[in-house]
Amino acid sequence: MNDFLLKYGLVDNKWLLEAQFQHVYTHQKFRKLQAQFRGKANCITRLTNSALGYSVYEAGEQVSSSIFNKFTVTYNSVAAQVKCQCLLFESRGILCRYALRVLSFERVIQVSPRYILERWSKKVKRRHAHIKSSHDESLLEPRSKWFDELMFCSQNIYKFASEFEELIAILHRAYDNVMVEMEELKAKGKETYSLSHEDANLESINELESPPRVRTRGRPKNRLSSKLDK
C-alpha cells in the first residue's frame, strides 16, 4: 500500500487520513476534526531532534500580527504515537492541527487505532436518556454536547484514579464535595425560578381581577338629577 502511494505521489493527500475518521466518526465530531485538518495548512513545522525512530518537532501558527502559538510535538514511529504539547487530544479527544501536520510531514497514511475513539463512533448509542426531550433543537444540542464532553473527561479521570487506592479516595472526597455544591446551586436556581414564576402569576391575576374602566356615553347621571331638582 505504501509503495503504491509513493509511486503515484499520493502520500501527501490529506484525504488519506481524513477518510479514516470520516468513515467511523459521527458527522458532528468529524466536522470538528475537519477544522483541525484545514488549520494544519497554516502551521509551520520544524524538526528539532531525531533519534532511533523518535522525532521532536516544533510546530507553530501565526494567529495574529503579534501572537505566534508554538508547541512541541513528538512522534514515535515504532509505537506509531504522536503527542502535542497543546493536549487537545487528551482534553477533547481529537487530534490537533499540529499533530496532524507532523503526521503529514512523517508521511503517515494511517493513524493508530488509539486516536480513533469509539465514543465518537456512529455505531455507539448515545446515552442521553437523562436529558428530557425538547421540541427546541437549539436547547437540546448543547446539552448533548456537554454530556459527551463530561463523559470524556470523567473517563480520563477514572482511568487515572483507578491506578492507586489513594487516588480513588481523593476522587471520592472530591466527588462528595462537588455533589453538595451542585445540589446547593441547583436548589438556589429552582428557588429563584419559583419566586419569579409566582410574581408573574400574581401579576396575571391582578390584571384579570381589575379590568380597565370604560366610560359610558352621554351625560353623567348626577348632572341630570340636578337639573330635574331645579
> How many beta carbons lie within 10 A of that of residue 225, not counting itself?
9
pLDDT of amino acid 4: 41
Distance of CA 71 to the CA centre of its chain: 22
DSSP string, 6-47: HHTT-TT-THHHHHHHHTTB-HHHHHHHHHHHHHGGGEEEEE
In which residue are the cell numbers 508547541 written? 71
- C-alpha distances in angstroms, 124 versus 24, 27, 45? 10, 13, 35
pLDDT value of residue 59: 94
The beta-strand segments (E) located in the chain are 43-51, 54-62, 68-76, 81-84
Q: Report pTM.
A: 0.53
Q: For residue range 54-107, what is the model confidence (pLDDT) as tens digits?
A: 999 999 998 888 888 899 999 999 999 999 999 889 888 889 999 999 999 998
Say which DSSP state 188 is in: H
Let me know: does 48 contact 56? Beta carbons within 8 Å: yes
